[in-house]
Structure 1
Amino acid sequence: MEHVGSAREGEFELKISFICLLYNPVIPFRAMTNTGPAGVEGVWAEDFCHLSHLHFYNPVIPFRAMAHVGPAGGEFDLFEHRSIAVVYFIAGILGVSGNAVIIRIFSKYNPISGVRSRTHVQFAFGNILVVVGAFAGGLSSIFGRWLLGETGCQLYGFVTYTGGMIATTMALVQCVERYYAQNNSEYDKNGGNGFLCVLAWLYSLSVAVAPLVGWNSYTAEASGTACGLNHMVDDWSHKSFFIALPFITTVLMMFAISAVRSAILKNDGPDAVCPAHAQDWFRDYQLNWIAVANLLTMCVGFAPYFYFSVWSVRYPGRQMTMLASVTSPLVAKLSTLFTPIVYCIGSRKFRAAFAASIFGEEAPRTFNADRKSE
């Protein structure tokens, strides 16, 4: 009986060895274990097959070892880096050009009268700052490594985070502005808009400068082709930043949602228009929903950064996968492409001016006063 048992055990081990050889899992398992602090040192494919022999009747041990690999693992090859580069360049070209056209239209045709147009112009400018870094990220992705050095990394982080914060904050300001503008006919004259814009810029610049002066820091991301906040340092300076930023943003967002909700509920209807704004391309109800759309765009675009902050607090000092590290900047940059669509949907006149700007035509300076088709 012992000989029969030994023969069966040898047969099973031979089958496992054949499966390991046939599958040849060296590359995926080595990629999982070669991930710095989040990996398991010494667990290679050969070790897995060896552990399978030793623990065939108790296979929990090798799988438990693999489970401790954690959330990190995996690297991009050059083809994958260059695929990401294509997305970066598409986002950069379309994002910069689309938002630049918005600024041009607001500056040339004044589709929203008074000081209310400021927040829309600055929102588009913030989007440009967000997406302009796509060219540096795309160029680095072509070669699979960061090309601009430490100084370029700090500059990239400062510019993109300034843009991200000003775009997010201006989306919140637009919601608050809708409440005040709709309930105060003198809003365009009392300077409240300028005060909100100054506060938004001070807050955004403070957040972007903080990593340069010691509250968190900018460093190369796991992909090695872009720079962002440093989540690999496990100290209170870095943790507190990841706690404070999403908390403050959430509080401001709740306030903005409450304000725009009140503006929508108090609106007199699609046909209501303030006499002072009779020549505007957008009515109050359209501006209310544009504010909502811009806020939703920012929520979707920067949701991965919110998760990144929570993940950094939960797993301090652990490296992310390359795919996870490129998701946040790519989604944020791609979100800027939807801003022109929001305004074009809201107004026929804006669509005409936008199309004229894109195709090099001269848009008419006067439009049909009939607003029913808008």
Structure 2
Amino acid sequence: MVIVLQQSYNISTGHSSVSDPGALPRAVHTVAAVFLGVILVLGFLGNFLVLMVFSRFPGLVTPVNLLLINISASDMLVCIFGTPLSFAASVRGRWLTGSSGCRWYGFSNAFFGIVSLVSLSLMSFERYCVLLHSSPSDSSQYRRARLAVAASWFYSLVWTLPPLLGWSSYGLEGPGTTCSVQWHQRSSTARSYISCLFIFCLLLPLLLMIFCYGKILLAVRSVERQVSRINRPSAERREGRVLLMVVSMVTGYILCWMPYGVVAMLASFGRPGGVSPAATLIPSLLAKTSTVINPVIYMLLNNQFSRCLLYMIRCRSEAPPPPVHRILPRSPTDQQNTVAAMFTSTDEQEQRPGVQCAS
């Protein structure tokens, strides 16, 4: 999913040229296949559990969690439609499904991947709006969240259709076992598309996340300072949990996607042949790990979600209550409770009967 370099491939057969000096050794393909196999299994199971928990406990579906569901759904679709093809190609050491399969793989991975990226950014904006700005009612928050979900799919479609219509194209990349936008093309139209994709689908979502979570952290610190005089240890723990969640979100985004974007820009605008196939393979694999990391960062670090998952596994008759999704009140104590509900769903919240487990 990164860069096509100075290599000669027959896409109809999937065989690379024998004289290709950039071809990867068989052992590297084997390692990549093992890595992709692990990503496929863990990514599918993790996102499947996330979607199952939300379907099992509808009370968990808050406006913010609607975007989390959207992220898991898009990651699940990557695991179903994309990763198996690259896994099979790595096992055989060549692309197996021809030019049509290559275009489908490139389009679907880019489409579902951008949905996930945009949803992460919109989720930070939703939290920022709820925490720092008033809203007329909870119904308006749900309506805004649904519009955000729809916008993420439309926005992604706008940026992934052009290569199918002539603005750049999808083709084999790197070692010839994955497909993506053909970053090696150095025409003005291809470079303009790559630049727009990097700015509008990678850099701007990251900047929005940093801005929103930065504002939230400042607000949280201000609130905790006011209430810490009463219960300082509890306030510090709460602030630490929020900080851990925010740092994990931003760091996961940067580690999974920024290497891919940087290498793609270097391959497109740097000197020809300056990026080796091995150097393109690593960022591509890192990008795919987002399907595994997202369920951990955005779900399993949430106490409320974890408790519901354990209740479901143990088939208990009661479940924790859904997190309280409220507008930011004016008193410091209420602000503290709102922060806890949005980010950590703390254990101090009172439990109430949930949905009966199926036998």
Q: Paired residue for 2:257?
A: 302
Change (3 A) 1:121 1:271: farther
Over the matched positions of the two proteins, sequence identity in percent amounts to: 21
Change (3 A) 1:35 1:218: closer
Q: Can you give the 5+ residue segments of structure 2 that lack an aligned partner in the other structure?
A: 9-19, 228-237, 323-345, 351-359
Q: Paired residue for 2:119?
A: 170
Q: Paired residue for 2:139?
A: 189
Q: Can you give the 5+ residue segments of structure 1 that lack an aligned partner in the other structure?
A: 1-33, 38-71, 273-282
Contact 1:98–1:337 (8 Å) recurs in 2: yes
Question: 2:246 & 2:72 partners in 1: Cα distance?
Answer: 13
Residue 89 of structure 1 pairs with residue 37 of structure 2: yes
Shift of 1:310: 1.7
Query: What is the TM-score when the length of structure 1 is the normalising length?
Result: 0.69
Tell me the SS of whatever aligns to 2:319.
coil
Residue 77 of structure 1 pairs with residue 34 of structure 2: no
Shift of 1:139: 0.7
Give the aligned residue type for 2:69. V
Contact 2:59–2:321 (8 Å) recurs in 1: no
Give the aligned residue type for 1:227. C
For residues 1-374 of structure 1, the aligned pairs below 5 Å read: 74-110=22-58, 112-132=60-80, 133-182=82-131, 183-186=133-136, 188-190=138-140, 191-248=143-200, 249-267=202-220, 268-269=223-224, 290=245, 293-315=248-270, 318=273, 320-342=275-297, 343-347=299-303, 349-355=304-310, 361-367=314-320, 371-372=347-348
Give the aligned residue type for 1:315. G
Change (3 A) 1:309 1:80: closer
Tell me the SS of whatever aligns to 2:46.
helix
Which one has more relative contact order, counting CA pairs under 8 Å at least 6 apart?
2
Q: Per-residue CA shift, 1:252-292, capped at 9, x if unaligned?
A: 432332222222322444999xxxxxxxxxx9996786455
Change (3 A) 1:316 1:242: farther
Question: 1:355 & 1:205 partners in 2: Cα distance?
Answer: 37
Question: 1:314 & 1:111 partners in 2: Cα distance?
Answer: 49
Structure showing greater radius of gyration is 1
Tell me the SS of whatever aligns to 2:94.
coil
Tell me the SS of whatever aligns to 1:246.
helix
Tell me the SS of whatever aligns to 2:139.
coil
Shift of 1:227: 0.5
Change (3 A) 1:109 1:138: same
Q: Per-residue CA shift, 1:307-341, capped at 9, x if unaligned?
A: 12321332376474221222222101113222232
Contact 1:105–1:353 (8 Å) recurs in 2: yes
Change (3 A) 1:169 1:292: farther
Contact 2:175–2:281 (8 Å) recurs in 1: yes
Q: Paired residue for 1:63?
A: none
* Alignment coverage as a number of residue pairs: 294
Change (3 A) 1:364 1:217: farther
Give the aligned residue type for 1:371. D
Tell me the SS of whatever aligns to 2:95.
coil
Question: 2:36 & 2:28 partners in 1: Cα distance?
Answer: 12
Tell me the SS of whatever aligns to 1:215.
coil
Change (3 A) 1:91 1:143: same
Contact 2:311–2:319 (8 Å) recurs in 1: no
Tell me the SS of whatever aligns to 2:291.
helix
Give the aligned residue type for 2:195. I
Contact 1:92–1:333 (8 Å) recurs in 2: no
Contact 1:260–1:288 (8 Å) recurs in 2: no
Give the aligned residue type for 1:224. G
Give the aligned residue type for 1:136. L
Question: 1:114 & 1:186 partners in 2: Cα distance?
Answer: 16
Q: Paired residue for 1:55?
A: none
Shift of 1:225: 0.8
Contact 2:117–2:205 (8 Å) recurs in 1: no
Contact 2:311–2:318 (8 Å) recurs in 1: no
Question: 1:247 & 1:218 partners in 2: Cα distance?
Answer: 19
Query: What is the TM-score when the length of structure 2 is the normalising length?
Result: 0.72
